[in-house]
Copies of this chain bind each other. A is one copy, B any other.
Amino acid sequence: MKTTIDIDSKEVGRWIEWLAAFGYTKNGGVTRLLYDENWRLAQFSLLQKMKECGLNPYLDGVGNLFGRLEGTLQEEKAILTGSHIDTVIDGGKYDGAYGIIASLVAVNYLKERYGLPKKTIEVVSLCEEEGSRFPLAFWGSGSITGKFTKDDCHELYDTKNISFSHAMLSMGLQTEREQVKREDIDCFIEIHIEQGAVLEKEQKSIGIVSHIVGQRRFTVKVIGESNHAGTTPMPYRKDSMHLAAELITYTLNQVTEIDSQLVATVGKIIASPNVPNVIPKEVTFTLDVRHHQEEVLDFFCGKIIAYFKQKSIESGMNVEWEQWMDVKAVAMDDRLTKLAHHIVQEMEIPNRTMISGAGHDAQVFGTYCPTALLFVPSAGGISHSPKEHTDLEDLKRGIIVLIEFLQRLAY
């Protein structure tokens, strides 16, 4: 790696462990859910750290934490860099947390080395991204970008039947709040763990994301007839398991035929009555489809739904499908992406352009302001697990790239 920037990777490791302590689980993971006690401790401890780093910290009305380093040009707009503070239940130490720490370490480094930037930089610890507590995700970035308002949360309850409003109030955050949506964001820069194994398998240190995929999710229900496994000859059967297996096989076989970057997953299946000696009356399965081009998603979904219809007619069974998620693909900013490429090439860091198959805050910002998303490798591609891990040297390389990136943008 060719650069004059140097940071202490052990120090980065200490930051990771420090933040992971807020919500550390007995399995070695982290559970830090929106507005819970660990979330509060983490956000307020980060606020203190920002202060110590010479940033001007403040919380907005939904609990997003910002640490502001005022630019000398006194422009209105600010460069935002960070990620989310919340985790899934028993998640890892790196998902979201790394992006916040990387931003804080980077801005601190720049301030120490170069003093105040020309453009204002704000490190952000977004309050929520995972949707782990309430049935709503991207609450932090969604509030800043105006995608969500307080009306979107009033009717929501967590699994303990605590209302969203009550949870927010308990943190001293009013739901009848001042404007949280911002009009002064110049761009958003996020660094995140890959949560997949592509960088590791290809021995790359940095992934530069060109697109975040669109996601469509379906529930497919095959309705046959329940009958005795011994006394019903094959021609008399309406075997929902047989048809479901055919639909799943066809669907997943089609994926690689259509596009090498298309992915589809049948993650969940429920048969009824689900006993060995009864022909299942009903089999329900989910289908998760992702690609960064709407037309590919359209083509694939159209093709399999045509097949479902055809098989429904042929078999005399009902096949019902319901789409319950439709997230559009988002392109990252071309200028920022080119800058990232330029930097990693100059630094001679092994890198690749990537499509992000997972959702990120950068996806919400990407439709609102110029946005860049960088990945560092995930060991074994494991994420949302206590086993989530990224080597210290990879964490360090990511921060060095981020430092250089912010330096070019703000100084």
Contacts and interface: CB of A to CB of B under 8 A. Distances in A.
Contacts of A290: 229-230
A246 interface: yes
Nearest to A256: B234
A280 interface: yes
Contacts of A345: none
Contact of A229 (B201, B234, B256, B263): B263
Contact of A230 (B215, B233, B252): B215
Given A198-B233, A201-B236, A288-B229, A242 B269 contact: no
Contact of A357 (B231, B244, B260): B231
B269 A274 contact: yes
A89 interface: no
Interface residues of A, number: 59
Interface in A231-290: 231-236, 239, 241-242, 244-246, 248-249, 252, 255-256, 260-263, 265-271, 274-280, 283, 286, 288, 290
A213 interface: yes
A269 B241 contact: yes
A300 to B, nearest CB: 12
Contacts of A229: 263, 265, 267, 288, 290, 357
A234 to B, nearest CB: 5
Interface stretch (A58-66, A68-76, A189-197): A189-197
Given A215-B230, A230-B357, A242 B266 contact: yes
A217 B276 contact: yes
A384 interface: yes
A312 interface: no
A383 interface: yes
A283 B283 CA distance: 14
Main secondary structure on A side of the interface with B: mixed
- Give the one of A230, A271, A286, A383 with max B CB within 10 A: A230
A228 B195 contact: yes
Contacts of A165: none
A245 B249 contact: yes
The residue in A196, A231, A269 that gathers the most chain B C-beta atoms within 10 A of its C-beta is: A231
Contacts of A198: 231, 233, 236
A381 interface: yes
A156 interface: no
Given A267-B279, A278-B267, A286-B276, A249 B246 contact: yes
Nearest to A378: B231
A238 B266 CA distance: 13
25 contacts: A194-B231, A195-B228, A195-B231, A196-B227, A196-B230, A196-B233, A197-B236, A215-B230, A230-B288, A230-B290, A231-B381, A231-B383, A232-B263, A232-B381, A234-B256, A234-B262, A234-B263, A235-B256, A241-B269, A242-B249, A242-B252, A244-B245, A245-B266, A267-B278, A269-B271
Given A196-B232, A233-B261, A241-B265, 20 more contacts: A194-B231, A197-B236, A198-B233, A227-B381, A229-B263, A229-B288, A229-B290, A230-B288, A230-B290, A231-B358, A233-B260, A234-B255, A234-B262, A239-B265, A242-B252, A244-B245, A246-B249, A265-B278, A270-B274, A276-B286
